[in-house]
Amino acid sequence: MDELNKNQIWKDSLESIKISVSSAIFSTWFSQTHISELKKENKKFIIQIGCNSPFVKTTLENRYYGLIQDALSKVLEMPCDLMFIVKENPNKEKMSSQETISPLFENNKDNKEEINNSFRYSRIKPGFTFENFAVSSSNQMAWAAAEAVSKNPGSAYNPLFVWGGVGVGKTHLMNAIGVSILQKNPDAKIHFCTGEEFTNDIVEGIRTKTTQAFRNKYRKLKVLFVDDIQFIAGKDAVQEEFFHTFNAVQGAGGQVILTSDKPPDEISKLEERLRSRFEAGLIVDIAPPDFELRCAITQIKAKEKELDIPMEIVQLIAGNVEAARKIEGFLTRLMTESNLKKVEISEDFVQSLLGKGVEPNSRILKTNPNDLINAVAEFYSLGKRQLLGDSRARPVSLPRQVLMYLLRTQYNLPLQEVGRLIGGRDHTTVMHAVDKITNLASTDVKIREDILGIKNNL
């Protein structure tokens, strides 16, 4: 079948798929695919789908096979069998706009200046958009709710309360709503602040006797964004002012969007009247990113930094670095060290950086190495003497290697010190264990779950 027909068939199929998935999922997984080969056999079509990376190929096969098959069958009006391969699209130039982050606006110079002023005044960061927010099962509900609010602020989920741990994307989503609103209406009265900044504004208003100016600033907004709202808990005057601000904004048909590190019912010293108002809207949580999402985040951040890294290295980073901010920090360090040392980015080079404890976990660092040894022994149901002993049986040797990896990467201990703690082993044994678990963390789901389980226990 000629190239034109293949492209049109795939375009029509993607239009059908686009209705069934979010735009972020579509952009992440479908936008860089194409029909590589299409042939008819008996009473069905055999279709080869080209994907731009092994990770995209695996995800489409495992998660979206049925959706793609249904879409193609409807377009072709005949049953289809699918095959997925890693192959660049020969018509790549037509997709260039999807592969780069395009400017937010293509208007005239005056309008751009007006929009830039709107971003500055509202304190919204234009770089955090829905388009560059990677979506998976851990954050899909929060993403969908945020998109709904951006389309209809003031009526869809008011207030919207998003909670989750550090670096899971709460602030990114909040900014994305603001960007979307300002794209449609640069004159919209919206304002972004943190709980601490809201508090400081009140304190300054009381100190300088300008509380009326403070109220004019906040109470007449169309959309109020407050990041880390838990900061106001326990501050009576601040909670009193926020209560009235909340009522004024919502009462005038405005939208309130809040983020926190915990749900309203777990924020201690939060006034009951505020808690009840927060709970009256939609409360959604964002879980820590899973491996697939971390891979997508790594790809997005690498593209932003103009780093061209193969999928094997993407998976290596995603398997060993757990949070989005830490992924970004690691990529910055990777780029810096590569430039300074004039070394190509390779698996060995990335392993060497990962093995130096690039991602220390602050929660784990509050414990000591002996606590970690006990936690690993308990997690694998082994005795401490057995774990630190000489047995080379896999049920003992693998947990021992996981222990060495965690001691090295989480506590930044020298190789010799790790060896001393693990029964007096030499540094080459420790180095081998760290390299092995670093690699396994990028390919073995069980190892990733074990490492996460041990960290959570600590």
Residue 106 confidence (pLDDT)? 44
Q: Is the peptide bond before 360 cis (omega within 30 degrees of 0)?
A: no
CA distances to 168, 284, 353 from 287, rounded to whole Å, are: 7, 10, 27
Query: Looking up tokens 């009256």, which residue turns up?
Result: 280
CATH 1.10.357 fits 291-354, yes or no: no
CA dist 173 and 194 (Å) reads 14
| Residue closest to 441 by CA, chosen among 309, 347, 325 | 347
Residue 190 confidence (pLDDT)? 93
Residue 109 confidence (pLDDT)? 52
Residue 29 confidence (pLDDT)? 79
Cβ(48)–Cβ(36) under 8 Å? yes
Domains 3-92 and 291-354 share a fold: no
Strands 33-41 and 44-51: antiparallel
Residue 454 confidence (pLDDT)? 86
Cβ(157)–Cβ(282) under 8 Å? yes
Check: pTM over 0.75? Answer yes or no.
no
DSSP per-residue codes, 145-175:
HHHHHHHSTTTSSSSEEEEESTTSSHHHHHH
Residue 107 confidence (pLDDT)? 47
**Amino acid found at 124:** I
Cβ(73)–Cβ(100) under 8 Å? no
Topology, domain 362-457: Chromosomal Replication Initiator Protein Dnaa; Chain: A; (1.10.1750)
In sequence order, what are the residues at sequence separation of 6 or more whose Cβ sits closer than 8 angstroms to the Cβ of residue 429? 404, 419
**Amino acid found at 383:** G
CATH superfamily for 3-92 is DnaA, N-terminal domain (3.30.300.180)
For the chain, the distance separating the N- and C-terminal CA atoms, rounded to the nearest angstrom, is 59
Phi and psi at residue 146, in whole multiples of 5°? Answer: -65, -40
Residue 414 confidence (pLDDT)? 82
Per-residue pLDDT of the chain (458 residues; tens, 9 = 90+): 555 588 889 999 998 888 877 666 777 778 778 998 898 888 889 999 998 877 778 778 878 888 899 999 999 988 999 999 988 777 654 444 444 333 444 445 555 666 778 888 888 988 888 888 888 777 888 988 998 999 889 887 889 999 988 878 899 999 999 999 988 888 889 999 999 999 999 999 888 888 898 898 999 999 999 999 999 999 999 999 999 999 999 999 999 999 999 999 999 999 999 999 999 999 999 888 877 788 888 888 888 888 888 888 888 888 888 778 888 888 988 888 888 888 888 888 888 888 665 444 545 556 788 888 888 888 889 888 888 888 888 888 998 998 998 888 878 788 888 888 888 888 888 888 888 888 887 777 788 788 888 887 77
| Residue closest to 327 by CA, chosen among 296, 370, 349 | 296
Rounded (10°) CA dihedral 92, 94, 98, 99: 30
| Residue closest to 217 by CA, chosen among 191, 236, 235, 239 | 191
- Map out the domains of the chain as residue ranges: 3-92, 114-286, 291-354, 362-457
Architecture of domain 114-286: 3-Layer(aba) Sandwich (3.40)
Q: Is 110 left (phi over 0), alpha (psi -120 to 50) or beta?
A: alpha
